[in-house]
Each structure stands twice: as structure tokens, then as C-alpha cells.
Amino acid sequence: MHPVHLRSAGTSLLLAFDSGEAEIVHWGADLGEHLPDLAILRGPVPHSALDITVTAGLLPQASSGWAGRPGLRGYRSADGVPGRDFSPALRVVSTDVRDGGRGVLIIQRDSDAGLEVSTELTLHPGGLLELAHTLSNSGTAAYQLEELAAVLPVPRNATELLDLTGRWCRENHPQRHAVQQGTWVRTGRHGRTGHDSSLLVAAGTAGFSNRRGQVWATHFGWSGNHEQYLDSLADGRRMLGAAELLGSGEVLLHPGASYRTPSLFAAYSGHGLDGITEAFYDWFRARAQHVDTTSGRLRPVVLNTWEAVYFDHRLEPLLELADSAAGLGVERFVLDDGWFRGRRDDHAGLGDWYVDEGLWPKGLTPLIDAVTAHGMEFGLWVEPEMVNLDSDVAREHPDWIVGPSALSHKDGGRLPQPWRHQHVLDLANPEAWQYIYGRLDALLRENDIAYLKWDQNRDLTEHGSGGRPSVHEQTLAAYRLFDALKAAHPDVEIESCSSGGARVDLGILQRTDRVWASDCNDALERQTIQRWTQAVLPPELVGAHIGPTTSHTTARTHDISFRAITALFGHFGMEWDIRAATDDERATLRRAIALYKRHRALIHSGKRVNADTGEPTLSVHGVVAHDAGEALFAAVSLASAPAEVPGQASLPGLDPKRTYRVRAELPTPLDGDYAHTFTQISPPAWLEDGAVASGAFLQHVGLPLPVLNPEHALLLHVQAV
């Protein structure tokens, strides 16, 4: 078979078939149109090794001599004895180049083992690679699948590995280390993506950074249990991989049945992590279902009520909050937890998705009418996948509650340990799924609701249905629930919230319109959380809210300008009792909301850039228009700096041949916290009236920053002149 060469946006993917398998012989920089005879790539055979050149196949197999982690693990049982067909020899039977040369379907088969794997590879226009396998059982007996992985090779000069980790209120924090021999594995057993899940796994050349170095990066688009890994073998080869982590006996393929892996998304960049981000953003924004960011329904300014009223759902305070929000320019008002039957705290009510008649004798209508009369959209919090034992649905249908036993807890079955006083509804049970769909559908039909904040506040521990593990089926059932509601109510937007950022992945984002990156609204914490969440997700998909003056999760106090500048670089909103804001704070809020409305088309369509400052206490990041005619930057002091003055900050991504005017937008002397932002006798010469310089000058020389106090920021607008 002839090689297959996919090219897009400076990236090449080259597949060869000489060994009988499909093998990726290059994934990285563009190779151009003319290729040599790939026979020159046939490597040596060392001593004390197999007598063949070992193939690192698209699906690595022991039958080809691969000694690393295999791509497929499973077996059949014969006469009650497991282990048959444990080592397939899959070989290519067909290739089909598609999508104008940007995709290929490869079918590999082992007829003796009764297995077939079809692999779809697509190199999207912006350079993002998407890879998924489908395993089919063509045999006469059931096949027990243990793992089917998607893997990609990375070269030996990828000597450093960066991934993300975290916890509740501290999601998506980076960690990096040198690549060494062996298998490095990140495992997620949360039944959801997880607070500590790595949104991105990036291997790169030594010292790779925001704007420098070669980087090969992957993201696994799945919302359930999973593993991500780097397999570094003694022969020098390295494979980045990911797979769904299946429970014991969870996927049994009967004859004729098939299993499709979640998609592995991957990008190559020759100019640092910002190039990876650019490939992901291009893919997101090209989707037909992507939110409108340039015309029509621009991303509205949000007020969420949680940190304003918590469970105190009295109508009068909520009407006051709506009035105050409208006066500031809010465009979407979201009523959070506490509106449904029996919900006075988090011990009861989950599962009973009926408006509480005691709190709301006339239903939600009085509040919705007041909100929409102000010209705002109305949104509502739900947590459909969860249940409190103190609820009507749990009392009436104990068999709908997930657990490790085939028996309900009422019949002596054991429940998993509670988490925030709640358990999980078995959406793999058709009756439970239909009940939840029916209640949400009724809420949306009976009320003028434009937005659902969809929460998921616990891990899926000991998750079983009918006595068997079922995270796989629960995840697919949740996807079907999202899909069905979207089909029935296509104009309703849905946010994926999972105690903050515990369900942030491209699987859930195929069916939702934004994520809640973290339950932490502390602006300092959010600087890191949002930077690394937005390494993959464009800002229009990342909820970013101004929280109270003193954060309810960290007890830190920040000025309004710092909180506002942080929230501007996302889908902007507030989560705060703004009735208590001072006159100065309200004045700055109005300015910040006006700035967001003026610049949101830029923020939600431009290129995300992150300067390499060389100073860990200083962050300079921004968004640059695709035509480089305009940009918005934030210079952020994350902590006290070691130097007396911060030096000159470069503004990356501008056109070196154009001339720009740079002006400070927030804070300005009009803002009450202006004097608290700086510690200096006099500001830099350009700060008051702005600066005019070429893009080359601003990128390579930069501008001297004012002496920012720790945990303060300066917003800069850059316009071509």
C-alpha cells in the first residue's frame, strides 16, 4: 500500500504500511509535497532482540514485537477458560483517504481472532489531529474488552513532559518533569473527568515555553474513567496515549457488537504552547454548534446568585438583586441551587425536580417575569444525575440509586459512601433516564428558561448497575440526556459545572456551551486556573466571574479592578451580592461591564497569547485579533517581585510591520482603587497618555510596566494606527 500523507496548517501526519500494519512514521512539522522512498526509514536490528525491525503500530501489538504498553487488551473464554485470542495480529486490509486528503479510514483485521479495528484519523484545517478506533467482534463467541488505546509517537527530542493537575478550587495547575525510561501514567477513577485530571499532556523539546520550542500535545475527549500516559521504551521510542479505563467485565462484546473509543485530540506546534492553543481554538470555533461570538447572540454578561443568596430563596431579595443587576448592564440572571422541593440546604431534595410550592406559590413566574422585563435572560441551576436519600424519588424508587450491589439499599444492598449527602441516579436504567428527561423537559417547556447551569457534585465511586460496574454506560447515558434536551430545546444553552471544573473535556463540550472552570472565584487563583484551562478551551467557553470582595473559598481580599480584569478574559459575569457593592465598586463594575461589551467580540474570536516574561511573579497575557489590528492585554502581578521595578513587558502576537497605540483601560484615575494598584513615586512615561510603537518594538523591546502591587493587574488596549 502507498503511504498516506495528511497535511494541514504546518503539520504533517505520515503513515506507512510496509510492515503490514499501519504505522505513523511522522507526526510533526510539515514535510512538504515531495517525499522520498520510505524504505530509507527501515531501522537496524540490534543484538539480543527479535530478528525483525519492530513496528510501533497505530495500535501497538506484541505480535509485531512491541514490548511496550499494547494498544488492545482483551480475550475470549472457551469451555469456561478465559484467555483465548489474547494477542491478535491485526493487519491492514484497506485504507480510504477522505475529506479532500485531510482524513483517512484504516481497517485492520485478524480473521483468526475474529477481530477488526477501524481507525479514523482527521487532520483538521487548523492542524488539530483527531484519532478514534472502533473494535468489532466478528467472531462466534463474546470478547471481553479490557482496553483499547489511542496512541501517537513523539520523537526523542521531546525530553520534557508537562501536564495539569489540581483539586477542588485549584483546577488545572501545571507540573513538568524530564522524560525518563518507563511508563508514566495519569489515572482518573472519579467516574467523571476529575478535578485532578490533565486537560492537556504536552511533550516538548528542552525548555519549551509559551512561545518557544517544539511541542506535541494530546487531550482525551471523555467524561468518565480514563488513563493518559507516556510510554518510553528502552529502544528510544516514545508513545503518548490515552484510553477509557474500563471496570472489570464492563464492556463485553457479543458477536457482531462493537466499541468505539473516545476521540484523542492532538496538536503539534513549532513555536511553543501558544501554537497548541491556536490549533484547539481553530477546531472549536469551526464547529457548527459553537456559540456565536461575533454577531447576533454575543456571550451575555452573567449574574449567578449562589454567592449572593446561597439557599435563601425569598422572592423580594431576588427581585432586588435582579434590579441591581439590570442597573449595571447584566444580560443573564441565573438562579442557583435551592428552588426545588425540600431544598433548604444540601441534605435533601435532589431528584425532586419540581418547583417548591412553599417558596414559590406562583412558581418561578414572578421572578422570571421580572428578569425578562429588564431585558435579561433567565437561567436555572440543576443537578439531574444526583439524588438525596431524603427525596421523594429516592423513597419511591430506591432501585434507581447506583451502588455495587444488584440489590437496592432498601433490600439490603450496600450504597457507596455519601458525598455532600448525595448519591447517583442510575441513568443506565431506562426508567430513571426517562424520569429525569421528562422533568427537565417540562421545566423548559413550562418556563422561559434560556440557560441551564448543569452541576455534578460528586465522584462516581463504586458505580454499578445491576451489580456490574457501569461508569461507561452512565457516561453514555448522560451524553444521551444532554443530546436529547438539546434536540428538544435547541435555543437553551447549557453549562457543564461539576463542583467547578471536574467535568471539563471535549466529550462534554460536544454537547454543552461553556464550562465552569472552578468553584473558586478568587481572582489570584483564577489567573492560573483560567490560563491553563484556556490552553485548550477558548475563553468564550470558560465562565469567569467577579466574586465578592473577600473570596468565600480562600478568604483573600482583592480590589475590584483586579477581580474585573481577571474575569474579562473569559465568559464574563458576577457571582456576588452586588446590592452590597460600594458606590466606587459599582462605578468600576459599570466600566468593566462596558469594557467587556466593547471588547467581547475580540476576546471571543482572537488568538490567545502568553508572553514569556522570565519572571514567575509576572504574567502578561492577551488576545490578538486575527488580522492583528487590535489586541487586549493584562499585565498581572501574581506576588511580590524580586526586583524593585518589573522591567519591560513584551506584547506578543502583533504584526511587526504595523504601528500601534497602547493605552491603559483599567484601572484608571476614574476608579476608586487606582491608587492602591501601584507603589511608585511616578508612573512610566507612557502610562498616562499611551504609547505609539511598532509591533516589532512592542514584541521585542516592550514597555516598562508600572510598579504593580502584588495581586493587582493592569488592562491594556492595543490598536493599530
With beta carbons less than 8 A apart as the criterion, state whether 239 and 218 touch: no
Distance between CA atoms of 281 and 275, rounded to whole angstroms?
Answer: 10
**pLDDT exceeds 70 at position 297:** no
Measure the CA dihedral 351/354/356/362, to 10°.
170
* 435-464 mean pLDDT: 98
CA distance 650 to 613: 8
Q: Summarize the confidence of residues 350-375 as an average pLDDT.
A: 97
What is the spatial distance between Cα 667 and Cα 425, in angstroms, rounded to a whole number?
Answer: 48
Q: Mean per-residue pLDDT for 368-383?
A: 98
Tell me how crowded residue 175 is: count the other CB atoms within 10 A of its CB. 11
- Judge contact between 261 and 243, C-beta under 8 A: yes
| Cell 432501585 sits on residue | 399
Position 224 scores a pLDDT of 98
Confidence at residue 296, expressed as pLDDT on a 0 to 100 scale:
59
pLDDT tens sequence across 648-665: 999 999 999 999 999 999
- Spatial separation of the C-alpha atoms in residues 410 and 222, rounded to whole Å: 33
- The Cα diameter of the chain in Å comes to 86
What count of Cα atoms within 13 Å lies in the side-chain half-sphere of residue 443?
27
Q: Is the confidence at residue 103, as pLDDT, over 80?
A: yes
Q: How long, in residues, is the chain? A: 721
217 touches 263 (CB < 8 A): no
The predicted pLDDT at position 478 comes to 98
Percent of the chain past pLDDT 70, that is, above it, reads 100
The band of 645, judged by pLDDT with boundaries at 50, 70 and 90, is confident
Rounded mean pLDDT, 103-119: 98
Element (H, E) at 281: helix 273-286
**197 Cβ neighbours under 8 A, 6+ residues apart:** 164, 165, 186, 188, 190, 226, 502, 504, 505
User: In this predicted structure, what is the pLDDT of residue 646?
Assistant: 85
**Phi/psi at 320 (nearest 5 deg)?**
-65, -40
Helix, strand, coil tally for the chain in percent (to 5): 20, 30, 45
229-275, pLDDT tens digit by residue?
A: 999 999 999 999 999 999 999 999 999 999 999 999 999 999 999 99
The DSSP 8-state label assigned to residue 292 in this structure reads P
Chain-centroid distance, C-alpha 683: 39
321 contacts 579 by C-beta, under 8 angstroms: yes
pTM over 0.75: yes
Residue 575 has pLDDT above 80, yes or no: yes
pLDDT at 667 over 90: yes
* Residue found by looking up cell 439524588 in the block: 387
pLDDT, residue 269, reads: 98
Cell numbers for 320, please give them. 432586588
Is the CB of residue 655 less than 8 Å from the CB of residue 628?
yes
Provide the CA 2 distance to its chain's centre, in angstroms: 37
Identify which of 359, 355, 411 has the alpha carbon closest to the alpha carbon of residue 382: 355
How confident is residue 295, by pLDDT bands cut at 50, 70 and 90?
A: low
First to last CA, the chain: 55
- Grid cell of 351 as nine digits: 431528584
**CA distance linking residue 598 with residue 666, whole number of Å:** 13
Q: Which residues contact 534 (CB under 8 A, 6 or more apart)?
A: 277, 542, 569, 570, 608
Residue 539 and residue 571 in contact, taking contact as beta carbons nearer than 8 Å: yes
Residues 6+ apart with CB under 8 A from 234: 67, 181
Residue in 582, 569, 559, 590 with CA at minimum distance from that of residue 674:
559
Q: Is 304 helix (H, G, I), strand (E, B) or coil?
A: strand
CA distances for 462 relative to 226, 467, 516, angstroms: 15, 10, 26
Q: Is the pLDDT of residue 687 over 80?
A: yes
Does 686 have pLDDT greater than 70?
yes
Say whether pLDDT at 293 is over 80: no
pLDDT score for 259 = 98
Query: Picking from 32-46, 347-361, 366-380, 596-610, which range would have the lowest pLDDT averaged per residue?
Result: 32-46
Question: Could you give the CA distance from residue 392 to residue 309 in angstroms, rounded to a whole number?
Answer: 26
Inter-axis angle of helices 430-446 and 471-488, to 10 degrees? 30
643 vs 123, higher pLDDT: 123
Q: Residue 65's closest CA among 73, 53, 74?
A: 53
Q: How far apart are CA 118 and CA 22, in angstroms?
A: 11
Spatial neighbors of 316 by CB under 8 A, at least 6 apart, are none
Catalytic residues: 455, 519
Query: CA 182, CA 230: separation in Å to the nearest integer?
Result: 8
pLDDT band at 80; cut points 50, 70, 90:
confident
Whether residue 398 is preceded by a cis peptide bond, meaning omega within 30 degrees of 0, is: no
Query: How many helices (H) does the chain have, and how many strands (E)?
Result: 12, 40
- At 478, the amino acid letter reads A
Which residue segments constitute the domains of the chain, with CATH numbers given? 4-286 (2.70.98.60), 302-604 (3.20.20.70), 609-720 (2.60.40.1180)
Q: Measured between alpha carbons, how far is 276 from 274 in angstroms, rounded to an integer?
A: 5
Backbone angles phi and psi of 226, in degrees to 5:
-165, 165
pLDDT band at 78; cut points 50, 70, 90: confident
CA 419 to chain centre: 24
**What pLDDT shows up at residue 501?**
98
Residue 82 CB neighbour total at 10 angstroms:
10
Phi/psi for 655 (5° steps) reads -75, 120
699: cell is 514584541
Quick count: other Cβ atoms within 10 Å of Cβ 392? Answer: 13
Mean pLDDT of the chain: 96
Confidence of residue 77 (pLDDT cuts 50, 70, 90): very high
Contact between 148 and 260 under an 8 Å Cβ cutoff? The reply is no
| Separation of alpha carbons 516 and 191, rounded Å | 18
